[in-house]
Amino acid sequence: MSSTETDEVLAYEKAYERLETIVHRLEQEESPLDELVRDYEEGMRMLQVCQERLQEASLRIEKVRAGSDMDLETWEDPETGGNNDE
């Protein structure tokens, strides 16, 4: 990760991809201890970014659902005239 790319602007997908790469490297166990520790630290930061992005997405979804008066259980499909569980 470049030093100009901060956690605040790091997208979930990029953080997850980076985390996968780090996990793969850690599983190889062929790196020097110092490098493994640095990778572990970065992996924990990427994990935190991923968790934060998922939490933000969850909160946004909840806000949309809370602000909606439409019940998805009784939603009617305008094309078929039926509800969504048919």
Tokens standing for 73?
Answer: 């259980």
Domain coordinates of the chain in residue numbers?
Answer: 12-67
Per-residue model confidence (pLDDT) at position 71:
62
Per-position DSSP letters for the chain, written without gaps between them: --TT--TTT--HHHHHHHHHHHHHHHHH--S-HHHHHHHHHHHHHHHHHHHHHHHHHHHHHHHHHHH----TTS-B-TTTSSBTT-
Which pLDDT score is estimated for 48? 95
For 14-70, write each residue's pLDDT tens digit.
999 999 999 999 998 788 989 999 999 999 999 999 999 999 999 999 999 888 766
pTM check: above 0.85: no
